Amino acid sequence: MTANVKELRNAHKLLAKLEYQPFKVDKGYTNHSLYVNLTDKTFEIKPVTEQMKEIFIGGRGFGLWYLWNAVKSTTKWNDPENEIIISSGPIGGITQYPGAGKSAVVTLSPLTGCPIDCNVGGYFGPLLKFSGFDALEIQGKAEKDVIIFIDGNKGLVTIEEVPDNFEYYDTHQLAEVYTEMFADDEFDKRNVSVVSSGRGAENTLIGMLNFSFYDVKRKAVRVKQAGRGGTGTVFRDKKIRALIVKYKGVTGDSNAPADKQKLINAGLRLHREIYELDKLQNRMREVGTAHLVEVMNDYDLLPVMNCQYGSHPDAVKLSSDVFKEKFFTQGMPDGCWYGCSMACAKAVDNFELKTGPYKGQKVVVDAAEYETIAGVGSDCGIFDPEYVVEANFYCDTYGIDTISFGNIIAFAMECYERGIIDKEVTGGLELKFGNKEAALEVLHQMARGEGFGKIAGMGVKRMREYFVEKLGADPKFLRDISLECKGLEYSHYVSKESLAQQGGYALTNKGPQHDEAWLIFMDMVNKQIPTFEDKAEALHYFPLFRTWFSLNGLCKLPWNDIEPADNAYQPEPNKVPEHVRNYVEIFNGVTGKNITKEDIIKQSERVYNFQRIFNLKMGYGTREYDMPPYRSMGPVTIEEYESRKERYDKQLKDLGYDIEGKTTEEKLKMLREYRENQYQQLVDAVYKRRGWTKNGVPTIEKVKELGIDFPEVIELISKYQD
């Protein structure tokens, strides 16, 4: 430890401390959670009840339950009673099965006003559990910047004020300095995990959180992101500079499973599949999720220029092979938790920054995922991999969500090119598609809370409203081209030709995020769900199955980004039935319970419906909030239609429309009427399948069936029954 870091450690002022006897994990749970109030600097250790475990399981479920009890219907994201909850779940922390180091973050979103949940890797969640807590619940606001430190070996929790001379604000510095500060030596760094954000989270509404892990091969601190909905903005509003957990002694038995052999058996099967098949399937160990760039481009699903188009000839410049050869370090064990042989968390080593406050410095960059490449790259018409890595680094260290950032810049660029905004609005920036220098300048302005970056940092919804109010822009057209729903920016797949994916985005609880349902290939390519009822069934099952990962501390990628060799020949191959059996086995192996694959869906259905009702509590959660922007449903402009004229003309003819002699504007109107009608029919079918009213509210019968018929739930939904 350097002398400077020692001095900084001693300069932190102790405000409050809690000494406790660390609680042992038993069958995936410690049966306790830690509550911290930053306003009055108090702590409380709460029991985790059997009812909580039965109904809410862990992870996202625990977060929603604690938040529900903490806030009122009038609570805003920046009110002191809003909370940040971090919880791993019963499976989180096992080392025998790939992708089992995840945790969930839950808070009220600055973008949506509703609960947001993020599933994030890194070591914090598992180390928090092994330190004795199934969840960390933070409420209130500090007067000055603080850290919260948890020592799971000593049984000590502290709130400490950050000294005035502590000049580190951004994640790549905070994670490194606090890891060094709290580790005893180099080897001990793997036992420390830091949650932090950056100055961008403080000055925008799209802030995100970084969860660290120490890469022993690179001898560098790396991070994974809880990216969506403004989690980092809430974090910095509470004046938290960092959360630090330290726990030494992780073993294969730390989760105290009921039957460890079940975990070993399931893990061996998947490790073998990854070793033998990954190089033949998605090459996750080589390029991570970047392999999707060329796939999406080939199928006309890659967002280009604010999702006007689905492919581009220059997309090859952003292909996974380019990143593999030029940037991604190969041959490293790139898992973000022990035992993950999928190793998809690639990194760029020794990248020299070309702009911003850290210009000239060489850094390790958490390698660009597909969403980042598509968002900050192709969707902005920028096909420069060097720019993508630079923007990725700065988004991460500033604490800015790359998905939202990409959408914001793409939307602003289209507005600029259509004359809706000009240099007077942008502060002199020529914000045209492809202008990487302008995009990076906006990013740095967002971090500083200055210039056009201050407007952009509000997010697409508020930026659109600003253009309407201040500039007199056409509200209908801007709504059509702004890729947000419920206030959250879309993740980066073009859904125009997949009705099911349109629902998969807009019918989400938290907003359009692909971790609920990604049905494009089932629907558009493989034609497996042709009817409204088929689509509704898929939009029932897959969001619930994916919810389950966030309840248990699991990553989605080992489920279907690697598949058994004979999976295509199995019944319902899109569900990857062998892996579903694995999840049943590891849940039972950890908890000692005896659930079935049907119980997985039932467990998720309780939490999913509860989250929908939570939206209702906050003033949302009805049908009107499930309406997507038309850009996600079909072509908005003449240019869009004519870029795929043969496709759209054929569709109209096949539907029985007479298009002979019709103008493009007339054909656009025909297509729009048809697609919007189709979407409304889909919504009816989905609500019916989910057991909701036609207004999108769970019925009293449904909540009773699920066992979430708490008095306040019944009172709330009774007002909305048909």
Helix or strand holding residue 134 (H, E): none
Q: Which CATH number fits domain 499-718: 1.10.599.10, 3.30.360.10, 3.20.20.70, 1.10.3470.10?
A: 1.10.599.10
pLDDT of 490 over the 80 cut: yes
Lowest-confidence range among 322-331, 432-441, 566-575, 577-586?
A: 322-331
Measured CA to CA, the distance from residue 386 to residue 131 in angstroms comes to: 40
Segment 502-507 mean pLDDT: 97
Segment 277-299 mean pLDDT: 94
Residue 332 pLDDT grade (very low, low, confident, very high; cuts 50, 70, 90): confident
- Residue of 581, 597, 612 whose CA lies nearest to 690: 612
pLDDT at 202: 97
pLDDT at 3: 59
pTM for this prediction: 0.97
Q: What are the DSSP E strand ranges found in 327-482?
A: 347-352, 362-366
Percent helix, strand and coil across the chain, each rounded to 5?
45, 15, 40
Contact yes or no for 480/458 (Cβ under 8 A) = no
pLDDT tens digits for range 193-245: 999 999 999 999 999 999 999 999 999 999 999 999 999 999 999 999 999 99
Pull the structure tokens for residue 711. Answer: 């008095």
- Residue of 68, 73, 72, 82 whose CA lies nearest to 38: 82
Q: Residue 699, Cβ neighbours under 10 Å: how many?
A: 18
Q: Residue 352, Cβ neighbours under 10 Å: how many?
A: 12
Residue 517 pLDDT grade (very low, low, confident, very high; cuts 50, 70, 90): confident
Segment 483-497 mean pLDDT: 97
Pull the structure tokens for residue 487. Answer: 């206030």
The residues of the chain that CATH labels 1.10.569.10 are 260-489
Q: What percent of the chain has pLDDT over 90?
A: 96
pLDDT at 375: 98
Measured CA to CA, the distance from residue 535 to residue 332 in angstroms comes to: 41
CA atoms 274, 279, 285, 290: torsion sign: negative
For the domain spanning 5-246, the CATH number is: 3.60.9.10
- Residue of 560, 592, 591 whose CA lies nearest to 578: 560
Residue 2 pLDDT grade (very low, low, confident, very high; cuts 50, 70, 90): low
Q: What is the mean pLDDT of the chain?
A: 96
The residues of the chain that CATH labels 3.60.9.10 are 5-246
Segment 578-592 mean pLDDT: 98
pLDDT at 515: 87
Measured CA to CA, the distance from residue 716 to residue 634 in angstroms comes to: 36
pLDDT of 331 over the 90 cut: no
Residues 6+ apart with CB under 8 A from 285: 274, 278, 279, 334, 341, 342, 343, 344
Measured CA to CA, the distance from residue 121 to residue 553 in angstroms comes to: 9
CATH 1.10.10.10 fits domain 260-489: no
Q: What percent of the chain has pLDDT over 70?
A: 100
Q: What are the DSSP E strand ranges found in 152-219?
A: 156-161, 192-196, 209-215
pLDDT at 367: 85
pLDDT of 364 over the 70 cut: yes
Measured CA to CA, the distance from residue 71 to residue 362 in angstroms comes to: 43
Residues 6+ apart with CB under 8 A from 62: 33, 48, 52, 56, 85, 87, 89, 134, 135
The residues of the chain that CATH labels 1.10.599.10 are 499-718
Burial 704-714 (b: 16+ CB within 10 A, else e): ebbebeeeebe
What's 670's DSSP letter?
Answer: H
pLDDT of 326 over the 50 cut: yes
Residues 6+ apart with CB under 8 A from 78: 110, 234, 237
pLDDT tens digits for range 104-138: 999 999 999 999 999 999 999 999 999 999 999 99
pLDDT tens digits for range 380-415: 999 999 999 999 999 999 999 999 999 999 999 999
What's 354's DSSP letter?
Answer: -
Residue 1 pLDDT grade (very low, low, confident, very high; cuts 50, 70, 90): very low
